[in-house]
Structure 1
Amino acid sequence: MLPSKDHRLNKEFVSPTVNKQAFEPPAVHSNLVKHLDHTAVSQRANLIMAEDTRQDKRASFSAITEHNTNGMARTSAVASSKSGASKKLVIKNFKDRPKLAENYTEDTWLKLRDAVGAIQNSTSIKYNLEELYQAVENLCSYKVSPTLYKQLRQVCEDHVQLTESLDNLSFLKRMNRCWQDHCRQTIMIRSIFLFLDRTYVLQNSLLPSIWDTGLELFRTHIVSDSAVQKRTVDGILEQIELERNGETVDRSLIRSLLGMLSDLQVYKDSFEERFLVETNRLYAAEGQRLTFKGISLNQRTDVCACIPLFEYIFSLFRRKPLISCVEKQLLGEHITAMLQKGKDVFEAFYKKDLAKRLLVGKSASVDAEKSMLSKLKHECGAAFTSKLEGMFKDMELSKDIMIQFKQYIQNQSEPSNIELTVNILTMGYWPSYIPMEVHLPPEMVKLQEVFKLFYLGKHSGRKLQWQPTLGHAVLKAEFKEGKKELQVSLFQTLVLLMFNEGEEFSMEEIRAATGIGHTHL
């Protein structure tokens, strides 16, 4: 048996022979407390469990002596704490998280600042972009994000402030180049600090993104400067004025600068109001010029001259305010006078076209015609539309008269093979037509007389005057290929009927036979 200073040693921990160099501790399956660092866990770590919560199985010895074959003895420490004391967890070969080098943060920032400066000055970058990106990620992982963000903002702010005083020569081009360079540089800087933008900035809602920060700095230190803003807007308006006067300007430059104002959210406050004032002034003067010279805006030359200019300006700016401005100056200020001046002319043309549609039956919709009439009555008054309304009344009365006439003609002993339709028109309502006497076929003359007797028998004291210029007919013609129906005017009817009597006629023969004048023939 092994000698021991404590004879209460449980058999569970004693072996009849000892052949090993060191004592092998028992396996304990109770509470195991692990203290592990997720960033530095090694697979070679050896855990020693040092506590058994069961009171009756806790070893109460201090050491066990082992004898080797050579007579040497070694003492192995197993447990030295008293009953109920907690044990310390020991992890062998554990490595603490490496600390940053003493000057790593400063040296890395100098490297990043040099890269940002190279981007801003449009020179080559000494370092690889991937290396710079990794450097930013390393700094962020060591809680340097707030300091890094402030340093980056300060560098960008210092660079922007250097460009506040721009050369007066080619100011707009310098301004545009400054804006384009700033956008390009901000995009490249953001690509390096993308990890910072996607982690720290994204998690802080009060912080603008790196891109928004670039826009804010440019707006604050350049565009918001009263002198710079005034010169920029004055320059754009001057270029627009030159374009309106027919001179050639750089349209892409104007588009780029207007896009800059829009991206910086200063377009409406700094530019649009002044632009609309200038546009009002221009088109007011143009409207007065055209009015005084008696030039009609619908003439071809004026329209061709105005369309390209308007389309160009229309494509540059917000549509609704510009359209309202142009409509007010070119239409709103002059449309009343133009309509009052041309009201009588409009009435004459509208009445003539309406009469043709009603008599020939070419109106698309009677309801649409009446709707238009009600709109004219609302705009121009009842006196303007009284004659037009009388035309519709004549057409309605004519339909009733023709129903009675057809009943009347059916009672005649000799019914005709010609179907006659007559429209009774009140002379004061309809346009004036020049009376013309033509030579009608005997069958048509006979029907006219029958209708005259019928109508005057019902309305004594009235006088009928035939208007052949308004007549039309449907002829049934027989050809070798078959029968056809021809819808023609009354004058054309008279000419075509002559070819029932012959195959060839001269102009003079047709005029003498029909009585149609040279103008209509």
Structure 2
Amino acid sequence: MSTGPRLFPSSSSSTSSSSSSSAAPTSASSKPGSLGSPFATSSSSTLPSSSSDPSPLAGGTGRPAAAAAAAGFTSSSAAAMQSSPHHPHHHHALQASSASASSYMMSIGGSSSARKKTEGKTLSIKGFKVAPKLPPNYEQETWQKLQAAVRAVHEARPIDSYLEVLYEAVENLCLLGGGATLYERLTAECESHLRLEAEKLSVASEDPVTFLSVVDACWQAHCEQMITIRSIFLHLDRTYVLQNPHVQSLWDVGLIYFRRQVAEVTVTQRRLITGILLLIEQERAGDSVNRSLLKSLLRMFSSLGMYTEAFEPHFLRATHELYAREGAALITTMPVPDYLAHVEARLQAESERIVHYLDIHTRRNLLATVERQLIEQHIRVLIERGFEELCNANRIADLSRFYSLLGRVNGLEPLRVAFAAYIKKRGAALVCDPEKDKNMVQDLLDMKQQLDTLLSQCFGHNDRFQNCMKESFEAFINMRQNKPAELIAKFIDAKLRAGNKEATEEELETVLDRLMILFRYIQGKDVFEAFYKNDLARRLLHNKSASVDSERAMLSKLKQECGGQFTGKLEGMFKDMDLSKAIMVSFNQSKFASQMGDIELSVSVLTQGYWPTNKPTSMNMLRIQQEFQKFYLQKHTGKQLSWDNPRGDCLVRAAFPKGTKELQVSFMQTLVLLALNAGDGVSFPTIKAETNIGKSSLLRLLQSLACGKIRVLNKNPKGRDVNETDTFDFNTDFVNKHYRLKVNQIQMKETAEENADTNEKVNQNRQYQIDAAIVRIMKARKSLAHQLLLSELFNQLKFPMKPADLKKRIESLIDREYLERDEKDQSTYIYLA
């Protein structure tokens, strides 16, 4: 007696070397414990082979193939079959009955050599013997044996018969045309068994986890039972089921009945889903749960075709409710960085659940539900409560998480808007506050560098964020006209001056590149040009440049950014300096230089159109100036020289009673000191007449010499302010440990008055450009409406302007008869040739 089901792998037919090629005829009653065969033939038949079935435990629901890996048999190999324990030398062979022999005998082609042997011969097929008479009640007795085996499988008892004998019985019933009846009886038996199982589940433990384990055990047992039953009734699956497309395979029938009798029972299904959701909720709360149990049950739902309809809606609804409550509770109580980290952890945990036990198709809906409740519903609050703070604190990791999470719910546009608002707010605070002018440019550079870091490390170089940053910088940096351009020019001047704190040329180059980015945002580039030209003139004339190469590199950057027209005059300034060196070499070799004694002279001959212009001065020239002027005009006939004394400087040797000193002073200070050589107690009017310096300038010069840190003059009466009634003489008690002293050179530091003068020149130059543009446009168009003319001007002019300013220039041109108004339409202008 067998101790349980015996399963044999499917294989092609083979003949045992220890047995003959034909099986001895047997009768139905010749073997104890055997169902026997009503027919015996002289040759064994082979079961048709096919591809293996999908694993039932993996959830396969398709029609089974011809042979399961665990349920196949060989029909022609006696060695592959188990003999009866009562007859050890007898071999059962699965044999085709004579009733079906004709179907097998029709395949007679054979090999090519066999065909050659039969060429020219007549092939005749002898008739089969008439089928013997069947034993009484054969079909009923056979079913009873099969039914007992099925029930033994369901009840987990040993089967009284060998599986190959049961398989042969099924095959014989099918060959006798009893497939339909056998199919109905078998499916009814399975349904009856599952009905009993459902009744057991209805009274199972009330504990949710225990109930889930009971259902899982029932499902696992059902799958194993159906595998064994299919192995016995495999011939039924191969013949009757395949020949009737409307008939379900035995495996599918098992799934259908399990779903109908067990899983779809309202109470069972409700308890099952409730228990699964309870375990998932416990895991979300941080408890440890049996993931293997969850995986098995959810695979069962998938195999039964119930996952999407029965489980997933409940699961997503529970997820929605959980995270809706959680999001509403945490968004107002938890700091934004902590909340974002919590959301990221939640999404990661849900992704792991998909890997461990949820169906892969749930991924999209599940993550979308979590994202909607924890992120999308709270975008505005997250941005308002935390974005600006994170940017100010430069929280790279938190901002990266912010960007990543909002990107999952199409929330980057609100974040971009917030980023733009943050830049404008922070930038306006730097630009519009005059108290911050001193550090404005450095603060802007630091701000730009930080925002670039955020853009690259947090926002993934997003083009929209990059454009947003550019537009925001342009917006706030031009809120205050002219001043940012002026301060950027002065900042560059400080970097290019000798003695700047930049350690290497490479570092200086990097700073200049960063400054050029700020320069691009400025609309009033003509203001920058005016101040940059003034500062460049000082550096060149007083030899204060840190590096000529750096100066030319900066000039190249400006040319690349704004074109040759912008830098033409600046390049001319460098040419003048080179030409002046050649002129001085020629002068020092001339007779004029020999008449100057031990005085060294260096003159820079400047082209008036290239350099910043100062107000004309009528100071008295020194003799050395007169000698150079004679030399220059003699060599360059037809040219004129106009001395720009305020820009000159001198090194004067002063013989004080307590020691000789060298004083580094301006040219105008030098004139004042020379005027005092006439004697002591020189009055203000006398000095003014001797030097021909203007009153306000002379007051400042005397104050720098008599009231500054280095007081080389005495003022009578004493005090910090200089008046026209004061008298001056040399300070005979002057003492200083240094030999060479630099006296404060007022003219080398721009005053508020000089800044205003520079801005006034810029505004005047803009008026010229506006007038020229209006005339150019009207000359081409002849007649144009007011609004169209303004639109053309805004397109052509590169500096910021107001419509009111343009209107004033139009009125000025009308007064000067360049334009006139159309008599029929006063808002239209006509060009006058």
Paired amino acid for 1:330: L
Equivalent position of 1:394 in the other structure: 521
2:577 aligned to which of 414, 421, 432: 414
Structure 1 residue corresponding to 2:221, chosen from 156, 165, 181: 181
How many angstroms does 1:404 deviate by?
A: 4.3
Aligned-partner Cα distance in 2 for 1:287–1:39 = 74
Find 1:217's aligned residue among 257, 261, 265.
257
**In the TM superposition, what is the alpha-carbon distance from 1:375 to its structure 2 partner?**
7.0
Q: Which string of whole-angstrom CA distances, capped at 9 and with x for unpartnered residues, describes residues 445-490 of structure 1?
A: xxx99xx99986962599xxxxxxxxxxxxxxxxxxxxxxxxxxxx
Q: Which residue does the alignment assign to 2:762?
A: 459
Cα deviation, residue 158, structure 1? 0.9
1:327 aligns with 2:371: yes
Q: CA deviation at 1:254?
A: 0.7
Equivalent residues of 1:405, 1:454 under 8 A apart: no
Q: Report the CA distance shift for 1:397/1:371 in structure 2 as closer, same or farther (over 3 A).
A: farther
Correspondence for 1:355 among 448, 459, 467: 448
Distance in 1 (CA, whole Å) between partners of 2:133 and 2:287 is: 68
Give the aligned residue type for 1:328: R
**Residue 150 in 1 paired to residue 184 in 2?**
yes
Partner-residue secondary structure (3-state), 2:336 = coil
Change (3 A) 1:285 1:392: farther
Q: What is the TM-score of this pair, normalised by structure 2? A: 0.36
Contact 2:216/2:297 (8 A) holds in 1:
yes
For each residue in 1:306-351, what CA deviation from the matched residue of structure 2 results, as whole angstroms up to 9, or x when unmatched?
3553233333241111112101100111012222445655444697
Q: Using a 3 Å threshold, how does the CA distance of structure 1 residues 337 and 93 change in structure 2: closer, same or farther?
A: closer
Alignment of 1:372 with 2:465, yes or no, is: yes
Aligned to 1:314: 354
Q: CA deviation at 1:355?
A: 2.7
> Are 1:254 and 2:291 counterparts?
no
Which whole-Å CA distance do the structure 2 matches of 1:254 and 1:274 have between them? 15
Whole-Å separation in 1 of the counterparts to 2:99 and 2:235: 25
1:158-185 Cα shifts (integer Å, max 9, x gaps): 1101111321251100000000110111
- How much does 1:414 deviate? 2.1
Q: What amino acid sits opposite 1:117 in the alignment?
A: R
Structure 2, unaligned stretches of length 5 or more? Answer: 1-97, 103-124, 390-418, 428-443, 480-517, 526-557, 580-748, 766-833
The answer to whether the Cα contact below 8 Å between 2:473 and 2:521 also exists between their aligned partners in 1 is no
* Code of the aligned partner of 2:284: R
Distance change >3 Å, CA 250–CA 392, structure 1 → 2:
farther
TM-score by length of 1: 0.56
CA distance in 1, matches of 2:463, 2:144: 83
Is the partner of 1:411 in helix, strand or coil? helix
Distance 1:225 1:303 in 2: 38
2 CA distance for matches of 1:140 and 1:389?
Answer: 94
Which range moved further: 337-346 or 186-195?
A: 337-346
SS in 2 for 1:117: helix
Q: Which position in structure 1 is the counterpart of 2:133?
A: 99
- Residues 270-322 of structure 1: CA deviation (Å, up to 9, x unaligned): 22111112111111121122212132255686367535532333332411111
- Which amino acid in the other structure matches residue 373 of structure 2? Q
Instruction: Give the match for residue 164 of structure 2.
Output: 130
Separation of aligned partners in 2, 1:236 and 1:359: 49
Amino acid of the residue matched to residue 133 of structure 1?
Y
- Relative to structure 1, the CA distance from residue 215 to residue 389 in structure 2 (aligned partners, 3 Å threshold; closer, same or farther) is farther
Q: CA deviation at 1:194?
A: 1.3
In 2: Cα distance, 1:241 partner to 1:358 partner: 42
AA matched with 2:322: L
Q: How many residues are aligned here? A: 339
Separation of aligned partners in 1, 2:258 and 2:298: 15
1:25-76 CA-to-partner distances (Å, cap 9, x unmatched) read xxxxxxxxxxx99859xxxxxxxxxxxxxxxxxxxxxxxxxxxxxxxxxxxx
| 1:230 maps to which of 270, 280, 302 | 270
* Contact 1:297/1:303 (<8 A) preserved: no
> Alpha-carbon deviation of 1:401?
4.8
1:163 counterpart = 2:207 = no
Partners of 2:152 and 2:251 lie apart in 1 by 18
Amino acid at match of 1:409: L
- Aligned residues of 1:409 and 1:415 also touching (Cα < 8 A): no
Query: In structure 2, what residue type is equivalent to 1:201?
Result: V
Please give the alpha-carbon distance, in whole angstroms, between the structure 2 residues aligned to 1:385 and 1:408: 27
Any residues of structure 2 matched to 1:5-154 within 5 Å, and which?
39=101, 95-154=129-188
Q: Which residue of 2 aligns with 1:288?
A: 328
Describe the shift of the 1:92–1:188 C-alpha distance in structure 2 as closer, same or farther (beyond 3 A). Answer: closer
2:215 partner amino acid: M
- The offset of 1:248, in angstroms, is 1.5
RMSD of aligned alpha carbons: 4.3
Q: Distance in 2 between matches of 1:287 and 1:277?
A: 15
SS of 1:207 mapped into structure 2: coil
- Sort the Cα spacing of 1:336 and 1:181 in 2 relative to 1 into closer, same or farther, 3 A: same
1:199 to 236, 239, 251: 239
Distance 1:402 1:357, change over 3 A: farther
- Structure-2 change in CA distance of 1:280 and 1:101 (3 Å): same
Shift of the 140–396 alpha-carbon distance from structure 1 to 2, 3 Å rule, reads farther
Partner of 2:319: 279
Shift of 1:387: 3.5
* TM-aligned CA distance change 1:313 to 1:384, over 3 Å: farther
Query: CA contact under 8 A between 2:331 and 2:339: conserved in structure 1?
Result: no
Q: Which amino acid aligns with 2:465?
A: M
Query: Partner letter of residue 135 of structure 1?
Result: A
Partner of 2:89: none
Greater CA deviation, 308-317 or 242-251? 308-317
- CA-CA distance at 1:137 after TM superposition: 0.8
Q: In the alignment, what sits opposite 2:633?
A: none
**1:270 aligns to 2:310 (yes or no):** yes
After superposition, the C-alpha distances for 1:177-225 in whole angstroms (9 at most, x for unaligned) are: 0001101111111121111111111111111111100000000101111
Q: Which stretch shows the higher mean deviation, 392-401 or 139-148?
A: 392-401
CA distance in 2, matches of 1:196, 1:105: 15
Give the secondary-structure state (helix, strand or coil) at the position aligned to 2:192.
helix
Partner of 2:403: none
- CA 1:458–1:385 in 2, change beyond 3 Å: closer, same or farther? closer
The 3-state SS of whatever aligns with 1:249 is: coil
Displacement, 1:358? 10
2:379 is aligned with what amino acid? I
2:331 alignment partner, SS class: helix
Q: Structure 1: which 5+ residue stretches go unaligned?
A: 1-35, 41-90, 417-447, 463-521
